[in-house]
Chain A
């Protein structure tokens, strides 16, 4: 007959075996064994490891089910492929959680068992932060997206947005499929003016990309695609101060969102590449 003492002894042996396998000290709580060391002993670098001065204000990881809920109040967890997402928690200290109270605006959690993402329907799916923050003057946006369709001529898909006050990754399809930056402070609209393309024009629907936008105090917009500099553009005419605005993901393009981050500073190339690599690994991880 197996006693409770026998079960506890067996459980302790399992825990100890895992601790040894992961090369952990005895002081590490068991609850942290898996989450913090998914690759088997090497702590996984995350954007949270950057210094606070980097200004991480949004860190969204749709593969982390502990951050996804079906309702905006966060009472019904997402547990399976195909469920709607009414709230994705921000992993950054800023707590800019993205949510919607409107049933029809919820994107869909999808997974193939290895990779996970949020599917935005391009009609009305939209998650925004309940809080607003000053319109960013310097910033870095990093996202991993699969562009699927954009029926509109232009669509903002990730970043900071309030009407004509925008710092976002965008997708336009007026004549070609093109990821872009939309930087606007009530006046000139950087992204959708002719000749202002920040990324090459040969993106294709159905493929995934890691676009990054970096704007420093020199007001020059840098577009990076899959880690490489695509182009630089003068954004000084559209980077003025403006109304406070929330963060968001969604709007009028059909796309898969594999994760992304928002920083209020222009990251160094080293740090940007680390951030891109972090989210990118979730796109290709096998």
Chain B
């Protein structure tokens, strides 16, 4: 039983990191990322909340999380992917009877014209890479978060930046 008491003490000590301090440190970036990729405040809010609740649960289970920022973005991105898949699946079902399938995204979109344009032109993966780049993640970190090869990060970033460059050229701003 003494060993179990030690286990209990160890478990308690693993739950001590201040989740709210981690929240204050990382949540703004996570929200920016989710808003940037989806343009939806409701999704950004839900996924940020769920990501931190999973962090609390992981710490409670005794998991060691060495890089909480990367961990949170990975969890959030997986939650986002699930939502996008669910949405795409339901949109496919509705597509034949409903022609305004993009309205929710457009309605929730921010006012920046370039961002709206990029949501139309870029793939979700390219947008994710642009946003992660804006948050300062390296190719290696981005690759781990998205579960792809670092070389692919470079290719997709190049493709996305070319789209931005071409859009700026069309507007005569480059």
**B and A form one assembly:** no
A binding-site residues for B, Cβ under 8 Å: none
- Chain B contacts to A: CB under 8 angstroms: none
